[in-house]
Structure 1
Amino acid sequence: MTVQLIDPPGLPVPGVYRQMAVATGSRTVYLAGQVARTAEGEPVGAGDLAAQTEQAFLNVATALDAAGGTVDDVAKLVLYVVDWSPDKLAALGEGVARASARLGRDLTRPVTLIPVAALAEPDLLIEVDATAVLD
């Protein structure tokens, strides 16, 4: 495995993400932000943060597959969430859990969540930016 996920002693164990990833490998993959669109560009989950999160993470997996990787190779995630508030954490977690179940992989990674006023299109609620390291 090229990415070792660690919650080091002396830092809190957040549960919903990891504190750090130590990556080794010869190729780094920087994905464009992925949103809730099908391969045909059709929107998924209008007004539903959980559904949009699930689709965005599935799109991350599709992109990594094209590079010869999987979500196991993800070292860092940045989530841009429209109008973030703590009450949206459950929906965000639900979307990640559903994508994890569909992919058969744990998507818990180091993550930075950045609240934003809007994304590129008005119906988008989340954009997922990923960096992966492949052998």
Structure 2
Amino acid sequence: MARRRISSGSTFEELAGYSRAVIDGPWVFVSGTTGFDYATGTIAADVAAQTEQAFANLAAALDRAGASLADVVRVRVYLAERADFETVAPIVGRHFAGIRPANTTVICTLVDARMKVEIEVTALKGDTAA
């Protein structure tokens, strides 16, 4: 199976030379995804709202790749503020409650000061391991 790229249509993808997601065989690699609403070009100030929007963006990319959040085997969460962990962790936990992928959470500076959270995932399409 040939490698296939998925774009969100963001001009930043071309500028920075990346794809929203890459499909390689049964694997789907979704780039770091923030809480920007791609339709409106806006981002909420609230970290919980950003996290929910990031999950909506991730789910849309996975869907275009023929996968879903249920196929995720690896998640990385990047937080701009350590204090936001208490808000973000339960949201991540709710989305992955039945899946329980491997997880790493990192506190770091993000590209845009409005961004409070960025999430990337790796999925294995059709993975039914428990």
Structure-1-length-normalised TM-score: 0.65
- Aligned-pair CA distance for 1:96: 3.2
Contact 2:36 2:42 in 1 (8 A): yes
* Residue number in structure 1 paired with 2:85: 89
How many residues align? The count is 102
What corresponds to 1:60 in structure 2?
Answer: 58
Letter in 1 for 2:113: P
1:107 deviates by: 6.1
The residue identity in structure 2 corresponding to 1:65 is D
Structure 1 residue 133 displacement after superposition: 0.6
Match of 2:103 among 102, 106, 111: 111
TM-aligned CA deviation for residue 93 of structure 1: 3.3
Match of residue 120 from structure 2: 129
Give 5+ residue unaligned stretches, structure 2: 1-24
Secondary structure at the counterpart of residue 122 of structure 1: coil
Query: Are 2:75 and 2:119, in contact at CA under 8 Å, matched by a contact in 1?
Result: yes
In the TM superposition, residue 38 of structure 1 has moved relative to its aligned partner by: 1.4
TM-score calculated relative to the size of structure 2: 0.68
User: How much has 1:90 moved relative to structure 2?
Assistant: 2.8
For 1:89 and 1:80, locate their aligned partners in 2 and report how far apart those are by CA, in whole Å.
10
Q: Which has the higher contact order (CA 8 A, sep 6+)?
A: 1
Residue 37 of structure 1 and its aligned partner are, at CA, apart by 1.1
Contact 2:73 2:122 in 1 (8 A): yes
RMSD value, Cα: 2.3
Are 2:47 and 1:34 equivalent residues in the alignment? no
CA contact (8 A) 1:32 1:130 kept: yes
- Offset of 1:52 from its aligned partner? 0.9
2:79–2:85 contact (8 Å) kept in structure 1: no
C-alpha contact 1:51 1:95 (8 A) present in aligned 2: no
Contact 1:54–1:95, Cα closer than 8 Å, also in 2: yes
